[in-house]
Structure 1
Amino acid sequence: MEAGEGLPPSTPDTADLGALLRAAREAAGHSLAGMAVLTHFSKPYLGLVETGRRPATPEVVERYEHALGVPIGTPADPVRLTHEWLIGDPPVPRQLRAGRRIGTGLVESLEGRVIELRHFDDTVGSRTLLPVIRAELDQAEHLVRTASYTDVLGKRLYTVIGELAQLAGWVASDAGRYSDAPRLYLSGVTAAESAGDRALGAQLLSSLAYQITNVGKREDALLIARSAVTGAPDASPLVRALLLERLAWAAARLRDTDTTRRALDAVNDAYDQRFDGIAEPEWVYWLNRAEIDVMAARCLIELGTPTAAEPLLTRALAGYNRDHAREVALYQTWLAEGHARAGDLDAAREVLARIDTTAIDAGSARLHRRITAVNRLIDRRAQKKPATSTKRPTE
C-alpha cells in the first residue's frame, strides 16, 4: 500500500471465512489431515473452523495463506476492533487442558527468548529476523493451544504471544510486508487481552496506528492511536510516553498542529515521571531522551518548522549507538529532509551521502523508501527553487 490508501475492509463472518478456507484447501488438493500437518493445527480443530463452528482467527487464516500461497479473506477492521478493545471487558482465556503439562522453567525460557529477539531487531536485518520470530510465534501459539498449565502460567504464555506478535508485526512492516503486519498486531491484541495486559494491548494498537499513519488512512491511524492512549490509563510513564509519541506522529501527518503539540508536551511530562521505583515492561527499553527528540523533530518537520528540528536531530545522532545502523540511517534521512525543507540542499545531500546503505541490504524497506523519497524531494526543490512542495516523503 502507498500513502493515503486505506487498509482492507473487515473480515467475512465466521461461516463465510471458514468456507473460504475449505475452498482454498480443496482447490490446492490438500486433505484436512494434510492441512493440519502444514499448519500445525489439529485436524478436528480445523474441521470446526472450516464449518464455522469455531472462529477463523487471524493466525489460522495466515497459516492457510502461507501454506497455500494464496490470499484468503482480509484482515479484521482495525478501527472496529480498536473500539471493541476500548469498551469491552477482557475475554476469559480459552486454554486447552490436554497434552503435556508445562512448568515455570519453560515459560521463563520463552520470556527470555522474546527479549533476545527484540534486541536482535536493533542490529539484524528484518528479512533475516522475520522468519525466526514467526517460527517462535507459531511454536508459542501451538503450546498455548495444546499444553496444560496453571492460570498464572497461561497469562504469561499469552503475554509471550502478544509480545512476539508485536515484534513480528513491527519487523514485517519494516520489511515492507504491510499486509502481514495488521493481522499480527490484531492477533496480538487478542493474546494481550487474554493475559489481562492492557498496556501490551495498547502497545500493539499504537504500533498498528504507526504503520497506518505511514502507509494507510491517516484518519483511522489517529483514531487508533488516540484510543490506545485512552484505553491504558494506568500505563507506566515510559509506556505512556511511547503511546503519546505515536499519537503525536499520527496527528502531525494530518497537519493537526494543536493535537501534535499537546501530545508532545504530554510525552515530556510522562517521561519526566519515570523513576526507579516504577516497573516498566522490557519492551520499552529503547525509549530515551534521544528517541523522544527524534520524534519531536519529525513532527516539527511535518508541521512545516524544519529549522527547529535540526538541533534535536543533530544532538540525538551525536550520541546514538552506531551499531544500530538502520535507526541511525533513518534518523539521518530526517535530518536531510529538514535541511531540504529549510532550503539547504547541499547540507541535505551531504547527510544522505553519509548514510550506511548496508542497512538497506539488511532488509529495511522502510529505510529504502525514506532515502528514495528524500532524494526526490531534493530533486524537486532543486528544479523549482525557491518554490515549496506540499508533497512529503512517507515515514
Structure 2
Amino acid sequence: MLRQKRKEAGVSLTAMARELYVSKSHLSNVEAGRRPATVAIVRGYEDQLGPIGDDMLRRRDITHPRVMTADRPTLTELARSIDNGDPGVLATSPSSRTVDFFLAAKLTEPGIEHMREWVRTGRTSTLRANALAVLSKLNRAQDTALIIDVLETDQRVKFLSLVSEVSKLTQWDWDTAKQVVREPATAPDARKLAKALTKEVLLDNDAESRWCGAYLLKELVPVLGK
C-alpha cells in the first residue's frame, strides 16, 4: 500500500527516504513488508502524500468477539474525544491493532498524557490495557519503563496483554488463547507459537510485544522440552 501510494504520487523512493530521514534500503524493506511500518513512517507518508486508506494500517488483529473496529472518520472522532479527556469506547471494547496504530498517529500531547494516566488509573481493565497498547505503538523511550511496570504489577492488564499476543500471532479463538496463557501445555501448536514469539522479542518498536513475547517464551520452555 505504501509503495503504491508513493508511485501514484510520482515520488521516488530516494526522495521519500530523504524526506523521512531514513535510508533508502530501510524504506524499501518497509514498503516490501520485510520491516514494520512504524507510526513515524505512517505519519511521514501521510504528511507527504495525504491521507492513505485504512488498509495501510491493517495488521492481524486479535480474535476477541467484541474487538473494536471502526472507519477512519469514527476513529478521528475517538481521537478528539481522548484528547479532551473522554476515553469513549476504549473503556469497554478491546481495541484492534488498527485502532492502536491510528490513535498513536493521531493523538495530540494532551491525549497521550491521558493515556499515561489511564494506563494506571483507568476505571476498567479494558481501558488500562487499551491505553497500554496505544502507548506501546507510540514507541517513545520515556514510556518503556511505565509499560513494563504496568505489565508486571497490574495482573489483569498483564493477562489481557498476554492473551492478545497469543491471539494476534496464532489467530486461535479468544477462549483458546486465554487457556494457553493459563496453561501453556494446552497450546495446539506450541512450536509454532514459540517461533512467532521469538520474532516479537526482537521487535525494537513495541515494548508490550517484546515483554509479552519474552514472558510467554519462558512459560513455553517446559512444553517445548517434551
- Shorter chain as denominator, the TM-score bin is 0.3 to 0.5
Larger Rg: 1
Give the TM-score normalised by the residue count of structure 1: 0.22
